[in-house]
Amino acid sequence: MIALDLGAGHAGDIALAYPAIAALQEAGQRVVVKVNPAHRRAFGALAVDWSANAARGARLLTIGRNGHPVRAWLDQAAAVIGTRPNYRFRPRLPVIGAARAAELMPGDRWVVLAPAATRRWKAWGDVAGWAALGDQARLAGYGVAVVGPAEVAELAAGIAAAAPGVVNLVGQDTPETWPALIERAAVVVAPDGGTMHVADLLGARVVALFGPTDPTRWGPYWCGDFIVQASTGRTGDITVDEISNALADALAAADDEREGVA
């Protein structure tokens, strides 16, 4: 039995560890994940043991301090299994509420705006900024949805009012089902945080907004082509034009994939 200690980790930390969890499970290992219960609700479909008591007597793995966490966890999993780490291993993350998400976001041409930030210094933008991105995606032929917790309800309502056609889904999901909405997106725009990492794991192109945090360590692991980092080190200083350019590139890449362009 193997226990992964994520401490006070958030949803993003679970997403970062999931490839290692899946690799261990494929090798026949029973996996226990130690994490703050408040942050595991979105991962209720995972076949892991969340009980702290179950970790007693297990071999304990903890995150390393160097390199990207996905690679660090995969290194540890490979050492347990006795194989070379497969750094491109991206298992499918099971989600709850897929049918309801499909009703709310029918089709496969969606951009998700996820303005919530786990720290105030990671937050970006106001109604006008996010609405401009929504208008851009709509003009490119995509449906646009705003998602997030209740803390961004006022902002989300303002975005939807300022950008006609943008769908406000704040309050339409639950702490258990929001990844199902993210799974339907071709592109997600989000600040550094849990939604960004979950979207990256689920296969979306992520326009990731960074301030002082190092994106080579904490950025999207699978698709880091659309990172926008503030030159000042303050996320709020990123301009709408900078994000708009990255969004245009992400939409073009999504279109190429749909059309089978290499």
Q: What tens digit of pLDDT does each residue of 77-136 get?
A: 999 999 999 999 999 999 999 999 999 999 989 999 999 998 889 999 899 999 999 999
With residues binned 3-state (H G I as helix, E B as strand, rest as coil), the percentages for the chain, rounded to 5, are: 45, 15, 40
Q: Is residue 88 part of a domain?
A: no
Residues 6+ apart with CB under 8 A from 236: 123, 124, 125, 211, 230
Domain that holds residue 109: 98-259
DSSP, res 49: B
Confidence band for 54, pLDDT divided at 50, 70 and 90: low
Length of the chain: 262
Give CA angle at 21 (92, 34), nearest 5°.
Answer: 125
Q: Is residue 7 part of a domain?
A: yes
- The pair of structure tokens assigned to 241 is 């034009």
Q: Is residue 92 part of a domain?
A: no
Residue with tokens 């076949």: 47
* pLDDT tens readout for residues 121-153: 999 989 999 999 999 999 999 999 999 999 999
Regarding whether 140 and 36 lie in a shared domain, the answer is no
Regarding whether 172 and 251 lie in a shared domain, the answer is yes
Long-range contacts formed by 215-218: CB under 8 A, 24+ apart: 216/68, 217/67, 217/68, 217/69, 218/68, 218/69, 218/192
Note if the pTM is more than 0.75.
yes
Regarding whether 214 and 165 lie in a shared domain, the answer is yes
pLDDT for residue 234 is more than 70: yes
Regarding whether 143 and 221 lie in a shared domain, the answer is yes
